[in-house]
Each structure stands twice: as C-alpha cells, then as structure tokens.
C-alpha cells in the first residue's frame, strides 16, 4: 500500500500518527454515478451489494506492506533483514539497478520492512468524516490561548528549509482562499479537506465521493 511522501503520510504511518486512510475505489465511483441518477431509494440496495467489504481492495485482518523506495531505506537495518529473508542470494550491490530504487511503484512487497494490519473497513461519503477520524488520518491538534488549532505536519528530514516552507504553504489557508494569515484551521475537517485535495487532486473534497475508510495498525516484526 502506498502513502503520499510529499506531505509526510508514510512518515505519519510509521510514527503511529496516522491509523486510517480513505481510498476512492472503482466501485465507489460507480456507486456515486448511480446515486446521482437514482433518487428513489434504490441506492440503499446498491450500496449493500456493490460498495461493501467484499469489493474493497483490502480485507479486515489482512497484513499489507508499506511501500518505500529502496533509496529511502538505504540506512534501514530492517530493510536488509527483510531483503535477506526474502532472497538471501540477492547481491546488495544490485539494489541501485532495481526499478524500485527510486520509484516505490516497483518495489517488491516481500522486501518491505514495515507492514500494517487492516482492523476495520467502512464505507461513507468523504465529507462525512468525523473529527475523531480526521485525527486518525494524521491531522495534528494543539491549543493557542485556549483555542483549538488543526494542521498537517510536513516532515523536514531530507529536504531543504525552502522546500519545507513550500510544502507547508501549499497546505495552508493561503492557497485555499487567497488570503494571508494563519497556517492553521479551526476544525479538523478544514485541515483534512486541504490535505485530501493535495493528495487526491483539486476538488476532491467538494466532489464528495464515496470512499472505503480503512483503519489499520502497525505490525511488529514478530507478528508478520
């Protein structure tokens, strides 16, 4: 399973700050299309048969590898342990020639050192996300003079200060409404809406598609 690196989603998963992910699936798009055409109640039957756990990409209890490119794992001992376990005869000097060296779309799941276990699946409209689920998606919360503030933390490891500021700026109010001011939101949904539009494309939040919402937990090495 792949998480967005630009805005720190993989990092948030590995640090335990993100324990949920929402995915727009093919069947979800079909259900949304039918819902727009049919308003006589039939959508409830369709939802029960088409958009269900049986048609989701992952299942409850399934253990899934977290995709990371090999270059990012070059200093990770667990990566070399996983590689040796999967293929003890693979020459390490050949790693840089693998397609997955810089593109995690091509990595081998059995070489990945980190995994998650799917613990729950539900179907809902994107905008129906609860405040609690926004926090499970990795939204941060803090208080300033007694007022709750919400935002998405962009990691700074491995990138320049200018790039770090740029990524934070892209997730701020500035780009959303053209106004100068705070980098924070006063609701968890506000922060999550900005993030999902960056990760899944501009207008995703307003389109309000059906999604599969997966809850997961990090799996320890002995549990894999």
Strands 20-23 and 63-65: unpaired
CA distance 89 to 8: 33
pLDDT tens digit sequence for 41-71: 555 545 544 566 677 889 999 999 999 999 9
For the chain, the residue count is 224
pLDDT tens digit sequence for 100-113: 999 999 999 999 99
Angle among Cα 213, 42, 119 to the nearest 5 degrees reads 20
**What tokens were used for 44?**
């409830």
pLDDT tens digit sequence for 123-179: 888 999 999 999 999 998 888 777 887 877 776 666 676 776 676 666 655 444 444
Cα atoms in the Cβ-side hemisphere of radius 13 Å centred on 101: 8
- Whole-model pTM: value is 0.81
Closest Cα partner for 139 from 188, 197, 87, 95? 188
């Amino acid at each position: 399973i792949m998480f967005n690196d630009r805005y720190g989603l993989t990092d948030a998963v590995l640090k335990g700050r993100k324990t949920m992910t929402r995915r727009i699936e093919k069947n979800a798009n079909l259900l949304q299309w039918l819902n727009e055409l049919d308003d006589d109640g039939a959508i409830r039957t369709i939802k029960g048969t088409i958009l269900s756990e049986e048609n989701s990409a992952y299942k409850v209890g399934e253990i899934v590898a977290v995709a990371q490119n090999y270059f990012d794992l070059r200093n990770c001992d667990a990566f070399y342990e996983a590689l040796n376990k999967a293929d003890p005869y693979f020459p390490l000097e050949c790693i840089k020639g693998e397609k997955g060296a810089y593109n995690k779309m091509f990595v081998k799941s059995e070489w990945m050192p980190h995994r998650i276990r799917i613990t729950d699946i539900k179907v809902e409209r994107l905008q129906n996300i609860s405040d609690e689920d926004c926090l499970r998606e990795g939204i941060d919360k803090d208080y300033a003079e007694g007022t709750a503030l919400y935002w998405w933390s962009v990691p700074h490891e491995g990138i320049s200060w200018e790039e770090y500021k740029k990524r934070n700026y892209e997730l701020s109010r500035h780009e959303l409404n053209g106004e100068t001011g705070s980098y924070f939101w006063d609701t968890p949904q506000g922060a999550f809406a900005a993030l999902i539009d960056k990760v899944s494309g501009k207008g995703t939040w307003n389109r309000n598609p059906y999604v599969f919402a997966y809850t997961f937990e990090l799996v320890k090495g002995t549990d894999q």
